Amino acid sequence: MTFSKRSLITLLILAIILGASYYFFATRGITYIWHWEKIPEMLFYHGAKSAEDAVPRLRMGILMIGFVLTLKISVFSILFAIIIGTIVGIARLSNEPVTKGLSLAYVEVIRNTPLLVQIYIIYFFVGSLLRLSAFAAGTAALSIFAGAYVGEIVRAGIQSIHKGQMEASRSLGMGYAQAMRYVILPQAFKRIIPPLAGQFISLIKDSSLVSVIALADLMFQGQQAVARTYHAFEIYFTVAFLYLVMTFTLSMATQYIERRLAISD
Partner 1 sequence: MIEARNVYKTFKTPDRREVKALVDFSTRIEKGEVVVIIGPSGSGKSTFLRCLNRLEEIDSGEIIIDGIDIYGKKVNINEIREEIGMVFQLFNLFPHKTVLENVTLAQLVVRGRDKEEATKVARGLLRKVGILEKESVYPSQLSGGQQQRVAIARALAMHPKIMMFDEATSALDPEMIGEVLDVMKTLAREGMTMVVVTHEMGFAREVSDRVVFMDEGQIVEEGTAEHFFTNPTHERTKLFLSQIL
| Amino acid (one-letter) located at 122 | I
d(CA 145, CA 152): 12
The runs of H, that is alpha helices, within 25-61 are 40-43
By C-alpha distance, which of 193, 222, 174, 204 is closest to 66? 222
Would you say 35 or 162 has its CB closer to partner 1? 162
In terms of CB distance, is 176 or 256 closer to partner 1?
176
CB of 159 to partner 1, least distance (A): 17
User: C-beta of 42: minimal distance to partner 1 in Å?
Assistant: 46
Q: How far is the CB of 108 from partner 1 (least distance, A)?
A: 26
Question: Of the two residues 158 and 201, which places its CB atom closer to partner 1 in the complex?
Answer: 158
Q: Which of 93, 75, 66, 35 is nearest to 233 (CA)?
A: 35
Return the CA Rg of the chain.
23
Class of residue 205 by CB neighbours under 10 A (exposed 0-12, middle 13-18, buried 19+) = middle
Q: How far is the CB of 153 from partner 1 (least distance, A)?
A: 18
Burial of 231 (0-12, 13-18, 19+ CB in 10 A): buried
Binding footprint of partner 1 on the chain (CB under 8 A): 162, 164-165, 167-175, 178, 182-183, 186-187, 190, 261, 263-265
Find the shortest distance in angstroms from Cβ 184 to partner 1.
10
> Cβ distance 195 to 154 under 8 Å?
no
Which residue's CB is nearer to partner 1, number 182 or number 237?
182
Which CB, 250 or 261, lies closer to partner 1? 261
